[in-house]
Structure 1
Amino acid sequence: MVFKDGEILSIDNDSINIKWTNQTAVSCYSHLWLRDNCRCAKCLHPTSRQKLHSSADVPLNIKPKKVEIIEDDAVFTWNRPLRHGQENGTHVTRYPLDFLKQYQSKTSMDKLRFNDVRPQTWNASEYIMNWVSYDEYMKTDECLNTVVQGLYNRGLVFLKDVPLKEDSCTKVAERIGPVQETFYGRDFDVKNVAKSVNIAYTSLYLGFHMDLMYMDCPPGIQLLHSLKNTVTGGASIFVDSFRAVELLKEKYPEDYRILKEVPVTFHYVNNGHHMYFKRPTIVTDEIHSGPAWDSHVNYAPQFQGPMDDLSPKMARAFYGAFQKLADFIEDPSLRYEITLQPGQLVMFANRRVLHGRTSFDPTSGDRHLKGTYLSLDSLKDKFRVLNARFNYIE
């Protein structure tokens, strides 16, 4: 059966095979999948767009009695009702051809979810500073789109002229999604504190790390807003861990493999809390051959706990691999440094961009940053919604 976008080649007991005009391979659609994804109002709630049946309700021997192409729809008449439905007799499903085309291949499905967009790694000389206006970010979706794509693409974005108010940081975050509250609260203050329960609240050098690796779901995005900064020192430092991992994989593939496989203990046992989680240093999306939504680096030496189950042999392998990655991370050519002035705000991907701070003299003035977090889900959500409206920015 030929239609304007392609041809139905065959229908068997399990599937229908369609040859679309824009691809060479044949697309195979399971009858079970098709019936499960019926678009009619009896199967998909018209306003919530949520399914009204379970996948378990689809009979294993279901197949179409008849298939027609009517205008821009593929119309299926099924040979039996759902297992636990109220229907008697046949059920008719109309699939827009555009819907079927979205699922014609893995490539088309990746485009549907924007999983085909590849982030760009960088070193210090390659990172281009483009200050984003707070007013434009808060008032226009075009500027919001620039920031969201910048967070996905390079993982590091800077805003200027942010009002010097305690709630400005959370307002910037909530433009993307709800803040991710932690045991630090909806937001937190970064300043020198006597008898600190966190090294970040001291004037000491704070080495490269990621926040809250001891949580089940660490924040995806961190924000830091400078409210005061009159001290000597205290520059913010950043490194793209994805670039460090690329260099490790290229030069030391066996060490790269070890850091993907050996789980590291992260913990926070202080101030009435006992947080604990184990995860490997490198989590990568090998299917797409590079960093994507499911790629992370888990690096926070300050919050590593004793490794629970390392044999002496594995300890030597892990520590050797970890040292090699650390050497790339500490390479000055990868390090981007900036001293945030009052009214400036940085947003960065917490499980990609490592951050830290140079030491400062607490007697030389005041330094006060306000911080908060966003979940990675919020960034994904906004990224996909805005990409449906605007073209992706390379």
Structure 2
Amino acid sequence: MSRPLGLFLRRSRGALPSFTACRRPYSVGQIQQEATTATGSTADPSSSTASPLTPQQPQQPQQPQQPEASIVRRVPQRKPLPPAVDLEFENGAAANIDVYARSFKIRLPRPVSKRTWDRRYDFVHLRDCCSCPRCLDPHSKQRNFRTSDIPQDIVPTSMKWDGKELVVRWKNDIPGFDESHVSTYSHDFLRAPVSYAVGSTSQTRSRYMWKGTAMKKMQHWISYDDYMNDDEKFAKAMRHLSTLGLIFIKDIPESREMVEKIATRMGPLRNSFYGSTWDVKSIPQAKNVAYTNQFLGFHMDLMYMNDPPGFQLLHCLKNSCDGGESLFVDGFHAARIIQNRYPLYFETLQNFKLNYEYIHQDQMYHNSWPVIETHSNNKPSQPPQITRVNYSPPFQGPLRSTPGDTWGRNLRNFTKALSRFAKELEAPHNVFELKLNPGECVIFENRRVLHARKSFDTTAGERWLAGAYVDEDAVLSKFRVLRRDQPDAWFGAFEEYHRAQAAEREEAAAQEGNQPETAQEGVQEGTTMEERKE
């Protein structure tokens, strides 16, 4: 396309401005802003130098402006000052209380050493522990305040310590409590506020893990009369039940009602669809393998329930047929062997759950449990403590799989671990065998000791046992009462056994001409004598 010659000549002589090619149009305001940015000064839009017709140079990409560094002045935070507390020490008590802003520390003397127990309490915690008659009803033993009622700024105004009791008066107390309110805390309470719920009477209590050979020597028998009427001997029997998970009663009067009397000495009966008490007899077309004369392998009762009973009783009324011996094994001992020798199997048995069920016309029970349950003791150097074993093959139900190959691999690994666990349970040296005679009763911990029964012949005799359950909470409550009321019997329950065992070792060493050994048979988890010393 041809252009006019005049326009070409005028542009070539500079009469007309030349424009730089641009991909997008610029407005007048944008050109002015860019010119200002490039020159670093503000141009007057009315001046001729800022004309939009002035030839422009290509603009460099503009770098974003960095904000000015703000100056942050760090002001050190002052720790809150401790409250002004009037400290008093009486009866020669050492000045062993340190007060902080929101808490205090007290050094409690130990009765049998020069060392101390150092305990630190937040003021809110200390106020929450008050059990004076105004805070805790003397009759119902129920609180008259809520933890949420305690003000966050509560502090003591005075603390009086005489070596046995700490007396505290408060400032900014709970609304409704004036300055006349006084809190008193004993030495034992400050050392362990809930001492009755720990140690030898808790779910995580120390257990003596036994093999069948050890139980033959350690089996604890008590007569029915002593069990029912002698508190001291009853306390010793309960301490053996707490530690071994298995005791026996003899000389029981011949009556079907005796199992209920024996059970209620420990706590209320646990009811179920079997009844508050029940009979173990061989009957035709039984809904439970226990009601046959067949061999019954190691198992635990009522695993298909959400809260299986903690303790079980079996009172022998008749047992004149051939066979029918009772078998017992310590599930904790087998689990500890797996934990020490096969740690990967142990982890698998902790995580993989089995289904248990009881499905009949009138009942449909179902629940899931891992084979081994543990409690973390917050000590990395020590393994987790075994608290329960759940194992009942006769009542296992089908498992529910998940999509993918992972579940199948986990199942195969679990079956290997479960097979190893079953072999430990059934190892002959781990099994304690006993045939109950009429007038004898066994009490065992259902979540620890597994029981089994050999087959028996009912054509030439009869076998009849009466059974009952007691919940774990009820038995633990009885343990705590006995430890409080019968401390010598409770803590001295095993002294006779230890003395007899030491005498046997000394006698064996004298015959062989060696020094007596001090190691005890079995595996002791935790400590039991430390509790008594302290």
Question: Could you state the TM-score of these two structures normalised by the residue count of structure 1?
Answer: 0.92
Task: Give distance in 1, aligned partners of 2:307 and 2:204.
Answer: 24
Q: Which amino acid aligns with 1:250?
A: N
* Distance in 2 separating the partners of 1:71 and 1:8: 10
- Matched residue, 2:105: 17
Are 1:48 and 2:144 counterparts? no
Distance 1:341-1:186 versus aligned 2 partners, 3 A rule: same
Count matched residues: 389
Structure 2 residue 171 is the aligned partner of structure 1 residue 79: yes
Pick aligned residue for 1:59 from 151, 161, 184:
151
Query: 202, 212, 229: which is aligned to 2:292?
Result: 202
User: What is the CA-CA distance between 1:76 and the residue it aligns to?
Assistant: 1.9
1:5 CA drift (Å): 5.5
What are the residue-to-residue correspondences of 1:67-146 with 2, within 5 Å? Answer: 67-69=159-161, 72-82=164-174, 85-88=175-178, 91-103=181-193, 110-111=198-199, 118-127=206-215, 128-146=218-236
Query: Structure 2 residue aligned with 1:173, among 253, 263, 274?
Result: 263
CA distance in structure 2 between the partners assigned to 1:245 and 1:341 by the alignment? 31
Equivalent pair of 1:118/1:291 in contact (CA under 8 Å): no
Which of the two has greater helix per residue?
Answer: 2
Q: Which digits, 9 at most, give the CA deviation of each residue in 1:104-126, with x for residues without a partner?
A: xx999845966785110111110
Residue 420 of structure 2: SS of its match in structure 1? Answer: helix
- Counterpart Cα distance in 1 of 2:471 and 2:449: 15
User: C-alpha distance in 2, partners of 1:315/1:145?
Assistant: 45
Q: 1:355 aligns with which of 451, 457, 463?
A: 451
Which secondary structure does the structure 1 equivalent of 2:305 belong to?
Answer: coil
1:258 aligns with 2:348: yes
Alignment of 1:183 onto 2:183: no
Structure 1 position 315, deviation (Å): 0.4
**Matches of 1:235 and 1:139, distance apart in 2:** 30
Give matches, 1:233-312, under 5 Å.
233-287=323-377, 295-309=387-401, 311-312=407-408
Change (3 A) 1:97 1:337: closer
Match of 2:487 in 1: 390
| AA of the residue aligned to 1:217 | D
Contact 1:119-1:291 at 8 Å conserved across structures: no
Distance 2:169 2:447 in 1: 48
Matches within 5 A, 1:370-381: 370-381=466-477
Q: Conserved in 1, the CA contact under 8 Å of 2:249 and 2:442?
A: yes
Q: State whether residues 6 and 18 of structure 1, in contact with CA within 8 Å, keep that contact through their aligned partners in structure 2.
A: no
Residue 120 of structure 1 aligns to a residue whose secondary structure is strand
Q: Secondary structure at the match of 1:256?
A: helix
Distance of 1:363 and 1:261 partners within structure 2: 46
Determine which structure has more spread, i.e. the larger CA radius of gyration: 2
The answer on whether the counterparts of 1:187 and 1:371 sit within 8 Å (CA) in structure 2 is yes
CA distance in 2, matches of 1:218, 1:238: 18
Q: How many Å apart are 1:377 and its aligned residue?
A: 1.2
Native 8 Å contact 1:7 1:20 kept in 2: no
Deviations 1:169-190 (A, max 9, x none): 1111111111111111010110
The whole-number CA distance in structure 2 between the counterparts of 1:24 and 1:72 is 14
Q: What CA distance in whole angstroms lies between the structure 2 residues aligned with 1:339 and 1:363? A: 18
Q: Does the Cα contact within 8 Å between 1:220 and 1:350 map onto a contact in 2?
A: yes
Give identity over the alignment, percent: 35
Deviations 1:288-344 (A, max 9, x none): 85797x811001011111122461011011111111100100101111111111111
Q: Which has the higher strand share?
A: 1
Deviates more, 1:123-132 or 1:321-330: 123-132
5+ unaligned residues in a row in structure 1: which ranges?
none
Instruction: Spell out, residue by residue over 1:186-212, the C-alpha distance to the aligned partner (whole angstroms, 9 max, x if none).
Output: 101101011101010011100000000
Amino acid at match of 1:381: S
Judging changes above 3 Å, is the alpha-carbon distance between structure 1 residues 166 and 147 closer, same or farther for their aligned structure 2 residues? same
Normalising to structure 2: TM-score of the pair?
A: 0.69
State the SS of the aligned residue for 1:327: helix
What is the alpha-carbon distance in structure 1 between the residues aligned to residue 299 and residue 446 of structure 2?
9
Letter in 1 for 2:280: V
Query: Bigger shift: 160-169 or 307-316?
Result: 307-316
- How big is the alpha-carbon RMSD for the aligned residues of Structure 1 and Structure 2? 2.4
1:121 and 1:240 in contact (8 A); partners too: yes
Aligned to 1:317: 413
Structure 1 pair 349–166 and aligned structure 2 pair: CA distance change class (3 A): same
Q: Structure 2: 5+ residue runs without aligned partners?
A: 1-86, 495-534
Q: What's the secondary structure of 1:135's corresponding residue?
A: helix
Contact 1:284–1:290 under 8 Å retained in 2: no
